[in-house]
Amino acid sequence: MSLHVIDYIIIIASLIAPIYISIRFSRQQTNTNNYFKGSGNIPAWAVGMSILATLISSITFLAYPGSGYSSNWILLVQGLMVPITLIFFIRFVVPLYRKVIGISAYEYFEKRFGFGARLYTSLAFFLAHFSKMGTVFYLIALAFSKMVGIGTVEMIWVMGALIILITLLGGIEAVIWMDVVQGFVLIAGGIITLGIIIFSTTGGLPAILSTASEAGRTGFGPFTFDWTSLTFFVMAINGVFYAIQKYGTDQTIVQRYLTAKSDKDAIKASLIGVLMSVPVWALFMFIGTALFAYYQINGAMLPEGIKADAVFPHFIMTQLPVGVIGLVLAGLLAAAISSLDSDLNCLSAIFMEDYFLRINKNADPDRQMFLSRVIIVIAGLASILIALYYVNVGGKGVLGIVFKLYAIFSGGIAGLFLLGIFVPKANKRGAYIGILTSVLFTAYAVVTSTELSSGKLILDLGDLNFTHHKYMLGVYSHVILFVVGYLASLLFKPTDSEEGLTYREWKNEKKQKV
């Protein structure tokens, strides 16, 4: 099925809008502080919408409906744990970052544990987000090319050039306002699509829920204490550490805390982003559930051998009316753009703050701005090249390697964050021992649980192989770093660090003000 001219107009308009926004804000980008932190006049609701749009990538847009179609709602458990976790520490963490860092979230780790901790955490961010960006470029281009008939390679280059351009011109303030627009487009596309599915299904919502329930497509189980399988408790524990790592150590989120007008607005923005993300995740998960019931009840035929992740794109192109197709595809592009432009801006910020300015502290402001933009172009082109490699190898190979390397070198960051925040006695030597132990454990778990193309493990230790579910790997690495870092710190004398970096100090300071 080919797109109607109306759909093309909607899609093109959705691509022109971010370019216009970037050009509008480009005149304000006179220094790196404004380029990475904005004018300081962004309202809390806009920052919150930007956090939401950053969290909802095109992978969510495609993967959640696929999961809802093929399984129950267990993957939602991770997201449900985010607001539960953050409500306990967000009012402390947000003011902490706004007080002790300039731009880089990883400056906190240096002030608490030294430059080695900053280098470790910022490097982890680089590895994680480069692998993510290349993957998003590839997946969105692959899905979009199949739906509109544009070549995957051509789509990667068009998207890449667009995202580099809009990030290059407008800085973080343009990125945030683009996220606001794109967030609304994404949500509108999801709501309209779900409404169409419900009203197109014989018996409506009650029939959908009944059919899905009978087929095991609802609920959050299984509820067994089995760490080797995907269970409710595995996802719940994973969700706790995901929330801590994402909102406590991820530059794409922390940098948005700095753009708000005040501590109060920054806290409000973070809560808006968190509380809105859960319903959006649930929306797209339920779209998959509703699609399962739709094809079961109505008897509509699907292409033979179609994969679960491809059912939603197939429905978009074959069942949605003219105009709605364009809106949903615009939402799909919006999800990709709002995630990737944030990554590019933050990668540039980290490079400048954590590396370049350490060596060139007195660099001319114009030189800083020029280099910041150069880094955005380089990072964007590198991500495009990774995506193009996926095209050549069919999406296999490097993707798994990149994620495993990231798991080895970034394991335990949430544990390091908790160690710094909640253990005043924790010191640099203890933290470094914890980091080393966490890296070694993660390496062991990866090589004893990963199969080669021959079907054999990279390293087979028999009964000593890591056999727990892969989601537990991250949990264990955080716990190991925290526990080992705490115990090792007891062996060394406390090291000097700046005041106001722990929860206890913040709480005492708050009492004194009262």
Instruction: Express each pLDDT in 236-285 by its tens digit.
Output: 998 899 889 888 898 989 999 999 989 999 999 999 998 898 999 999 99
pLDDT at 111: 92
The CA-based dihedral angle spanning residues 263, 265, 267, 271, taken in that order and rounded to the nearest 10 degrees: 180
Distances (CA, A) of 344 to 160, 234, 253, 461, 464: 11, 32, 13, 41, 41
Domain 5-28+39-410 matching CATH 3.30.450.40: the answer reads no
pLDDT at 404: 54
> Looking at the DSSP assignment, which residues form a beta bridge with residue 457?
451
Pick 143 or 351 by higher pLDDT.
351
pLDDT above 60 for 1: no
Read off the pLDDT band of 4 (50, 70, 90): confident
Distances (CA, A) of 453 to 326, 401, 407, 466: 40, 13, 20, 19
Ranges 56-65, 246-255, 425-434, most confident: 425-434
Mean pLDDT of 9-20: 87
**Is the Cβ–Cβ distance between 79 and 278 less than 8 Å?**
yes
User: pLDDT (tens digit, 9 = 90+) per residue, 296-341?
Assistant: 999 888 888 888 888 998 899 889 999 999 998 888 888 788 888 8
Mean pLDDT of 393-414: 61
Long-range contacts, 188-192 (Cβ 8 Å, 24+)? 188/327, 188/331, 189/324, 189/327, 189/328, 189/330, 189/331, 189/332, 190/280, 190/283, 190/284, 190/287, 190/331, 191/283, 192/324, 192/327, 192/328
Whole-angstrom distance, CA of residue 170 vs CA of residue 160: 16
pLDDT above 90 for 287: yes
Mean pLDDT of 154-179: 88
Read off the pLDDT band of 398 (50, 70, 90): very low
Domain boundaries, the chain: 5-28+39-410, 411-509
Classify 262 as helix, strand or coil.
Answer: coil
Share of the chain above pLDDT 90, in %: 41
Give pTM, 2 decimals. Answer: 0.89
pLDDT at 399: 45
